[in-house]
Structure 1
Amino acid sequence: MSALLAEDLLNQMIPPLKSTDTTAKAARWLEEFHVNQLPVLADRSYRGLITINDLADYENPDTQLAELPLRYADTHVQHDQHFFRVMEIAIQNRIQLVPVLDEQNEYAGVVTVSDALAAFGPVPGPAGQGSILVLTMEERDYSLSQISRYVEENNAKILSAHVVTDEHDPYRIRLTLRLNTDNLARITATLERFGYLVSAQFSGTAAVSEDEQDRFDALLRYLNV
């Protein structure tokens, strides 16, 4: 199974703004492209995202974006990062699109949440029924058939799976699973008992804090767009 990387999901239809562009142009493009944010560049360097709320305090339509204190300057992913990282950044920051940087840390484009989810596959069944589980493990320990057996022993099924090399250890992998259940407690307990590390999960019942619940609610809203 090939990994879904940020560079594979770039949306070529959404253009960046330049720091020399005006607030009037930014407002017009936000409306024309039906987005809540747009990236702003200085040459090829990513400076941040502009939102409609950022423009509210600037009545002069000729104000250049370079004069605005842009947010999200550190909110981006590298071109070779897994789509799950794109989703994580989007959910944590509650943004609609995530800027992508290339090998030289220059702007390469954006990935929208809807594009990332479409590539991962539609979610069957009513909203709220389903979850995403991320495991990390030694590459030699990877066996999807074995993992599937543990999942099915807990009355669930794997709907889709994607594998990517761990960014910090070339001998480890990260496995992202979509499951047809929103109850992960028994599944995660079983997997951890057999030595798998659960590094992230999005589930309506598995959230252990208000922050985790907020992240899951945000994911469900994205799944319904």
Structure 2
Amino acid sequence: MLVKDFLTKDIPVLKSFDTVEYGLGLMDDFKIKHLPLTEDGLYRCLVSEKELLSLTGSNSTVGEAVVFAPSVTENCHLLEALSLVARYRLSFLPVISQTGEYMGGLTADRLLNALSDTTHAESEGSIVMLEMLPQDYSLSDIARVIESNHAHVLSLLSHMDSITGRLIISIKIDLEDASPVIRSFERFNYTVLFYFMKKGMVDDLLEQRMSELMYYINM
């Protein structure tokens, strides 16, 4: 998932001689708070709405008052772009060539859509969340449990709980009813924090088990 596959060239650029009013108008039209400033096709800096509003008079020119120039090259991975967008809270991230030529950019919305595709967020299936110590994490063991139930991992995300220091694993699988996978994880002593699937599947399973239990009790 490279940046070049998702960049857009529809967002206009600013020049140093453009007025503040013009820049703010473009930001309003395209619903973003950042625009690239270029000179002779080369990327110079990223201008924010906040900086334009701080300039005196709507007829003032943008100039080159800022040095802030975050960017990625077109062959970078989407996760690198996401890191910059999150770190600086950007609505637009310029994409440049190795020689500094402006190629286009990534809007936050476009990046979000690309990551949704990457993680199969809209695919049919279920999500299972596990909790474990970092040293207990084994991708191969987790995949083995899932695949033993004739399911497959569509995506896997992880983060460290800052309070407990434990690893939280979110797994998207291609089964709409994840109950067999959940039972397998519990059998292998995994801590299942949460699971998300179509409503009623687990309830129906529990109701069936309760009916079977009551049947044997009444025998």
TM-score by length of 1: 0.56
Alignment equivalent of 1:38, drawn from 35, 40, 55 = 35
- SS for the counterpart of 1:104 is coil
The verdict on how the C-alpha distance between 1:151 and 1:93 changes in structure 2, with shifts beyond 3 A counting, is farther
* In structure 1, C-alpha distance between the alignment counterparts of 2:110 and 2:61, rounded to whole Å: 30
Q: Could you say which structure has the greater relative contact order, defined with CA pairs below 8 angstroms and 6 or more residues apart?
A: 1
1:51, distance to aligned residue in structure 2 (A): 1.7
Structure 2 alignment gaps of length 5 or more = 130-137, 164-219
- SS for the counterpart of 1:18 is coil
* In structure 1, C-alpha distance between the alignment counterparts of 2:109 and 2:5, rounded to whole Å: 14
1:130, distance to aligned residue in structure 2 (A): 8.3
The answer to whether the 8 A contact 2:34-2:90 is kept is: yes
Select the structure of larger CA radius of gyration.
Answer: 2
The verdict on how the C-alpha distance between 1:20 and 1:150 changes in structure 2, with shifts beyond 3 A counting, is farther
- SS for the counterpart of 1:53 is helix
* CA displacement 1:6-62 (0-9 Å, x = unmatched): 111111221111122111100110101111111111222212222221122223222
Residue 105 (structure 2) aligns with: 110
Alignment equivalent of 2:49, drawn from 48, 52, 59 = 52
Instruction: Say if 2:121 is the partner of 1:123.
Output: yes
Instruction: Say if 2:84 is the partner of 1:100.
Output: no
Instruction: Say if 2:106 is the partner of 1:152.
Output: no
The verdict on how the C-alpha distance between 1:130 and 1:106 changes in structure 2, with shifts beyond 3 A counting, is farther
The answer to whether the 8 A contact 1:90-1:96 is kept is: yes
Identical pairs, percent: 23
Aligned residue pairs total 145
TM-score by length of 2: 0.57
* In structure 2, C-alpha distance between the alignment counterparts of 1:87 and 1:24, rounded to whole Å: 30
Residue 85 (structure 1) aligns with: 80
Across the aligned residues of Structure 1 and Structure 2, the Cα RMSD in angstroms comes to 2.9
* In structure 2, C-alpha distance between the alignment counterparts of 1:66 and 1:106, rounded to whole Å: 19
Structure 1 alignment gaps of length 5 or more = 132-146, 160-177, 185-202, 210-225
